[in-house]
Amino acid sequence: MKWPAMGYLRATSLPDLWSALAQHGASAQIIAGGQTLLATLAFRLSEPSVLVDIIRIPELRGVSVTGGALRIGALTRHAELGRDALVRAHAPLLTEAVPLIAHPAIRNRGTIGGSLAYADPAAELPACIVALDAVVVTASAAGERRIPARDFFTDLLQTALHPGEIIAGVEIPLAARHSAIQEIARRSGDYAMAGLAAALRLEAGCVVAPRLVYFGVGNGPVLAAHASAALEGRPLDAGSIAAAQEALGEDLDPPQDLHGPPDMKRHLARVLTARVLGSFLAPKEMAA
Ligand SMILES: Cc1cc2nc3c(=O)[nH]c(=O)nc-3n(C[C@H](O)[C@H](O)[C@H](O)COP(=O)(O)OP(=O)(O)OC[C@H]3O[C@@H](n4cnc5c(N)ncnc54)[C@H](O)[C@@H]3O)c2cc1C
């Protein structure tokens, strides 16, 4: 299908954006990297009267460390995220996630803000920011809001963004932690059939503040409360990993999708649990 007829505006500052949105109201839609939006327009899943391009707004760019957090601007492209030294130092989970996202051409244009706003349940970055206990910073003509990532994804392709509000960036607490992401996909670059992004601390050999976040198995990133609780305070070993796998039954209720039935997704999630948690163990412990 062809795109609907529509106007195009480029905002070059936030005040510029607020006046464009005020002028065009709910019929305007913002575009960042365009890597999802252009496809959805071709399928006529939305028919805006005008696209407002935000990619040149400097306030939404940049990666910095401020106030005890790593701040990543919404317009940071996936490829930039993957090679950023501050991200690698303070949130290596994101560095590890980037090669799993689509293909280089898409990573060169897609932005973290677009990925979080679109909220695809099989996307890597939403799961990572929940695992990292990040805060989503939003902006609108009325000012900024800070929303914990775990509350930001509200349902299938739905977020806590209000009309007229955009994602300005994310803030990730600077905390020493172990983290890892793995997924199972049919082909390299495909969306995941199932994936797991995990973060935890190991203190005196015991697990502290584990956050196991599954993707591709629900209506959004699933922070597995029972599986995480099964690990809390225990040594990370075959026994606690098996307990987390068992408890996962309480956390996941995967829908049937193009990839397969719920039981298959549950099985993949259990496999990923062992793989990701096993990656935090020394080789000798894994063999035990
Ligand atoms: C073939 C293909 C394969 C892909 N595979 C994967 C994959 O494996 N994993 C994955 O995670 N992603 C995948 N993607 C998605 C892609 O990586 C981008 O992350 C995604 O398209 C969003 O980024 P964008 O900047 O292009 O957003 P756009 O396409 O410009 O916008 C997407 C939506 O977000 C809104 N939006 C954009 N920026 C903001 C903002 N700052 N605030 C509020 N709303 C905003 C737009 O209005 C629109 O509704 C794939 C895309 C394609 C085309």
- Summarised one tens digit per residue, pLDDT across range 161-195 is 999 999 999 999 999 999 999 999 999 889 999 99
Q: Which residue has the higher pLDDT, 43 or 134?
A: 134
**pLDDT band at 5; cut points 50, 70, 90:** confident
Q: Read out DSSP for 255-288? A: PPBTTB-HHHHHHHHHHHHHHHHHTTS-HHHHH-
In sequence order, the 6+-apart residues with CB closer than 8 A to the CB of 137 are: 71, 144, 145, 146, 167, 168, 169, 170, 171
- The residue to mutate among 37, 43, 259, having the most atoms of ligand 1 within 8 angstroms of its beta carbon, is 37
- Summarised one tens digit per residue, pLDDT across range 193-230 is 999 999 999 999 899 999 999 999 999 999 999 999 99
For residue 106 the two structure tokens come to 């898409």
Q: Of 189, 190, 167, whose CA–CA distance to 71 is shortest?
A: 167
- Residue 47 CA, ligand 1 centroid: distance in Å: 17
Q: Read out DSSP for 189-237? A: TSPPSEEEEEEEEEETTEEEEEEEEEESSSSS-EE-HHHHHHHTTSB-S
Query: What percentage of the chain carries pLDDT values higher than 90?
Result: 87
Beta strands 63-66 and 69-73 are: antiparallel
pLDDT at residue 99 greater than cutoff 70: yes
What does the alpha-carbon distance between residue 266 and residue 269 come to, in Å, rounded to a whole number?
Answer: 5
Using the 8-state DSSP alphabet, how is residue 160 labeled?
A: S
Q: Of 17, 16, 6, 10, whose CA–CA distance to 165 is shortest?
A: 17
- Residue 112 CA, ligand 1 centroid: distance in Å: 8
- The ligand 1 atom at the shortest distance from the C-alpha of residue 138 is 42
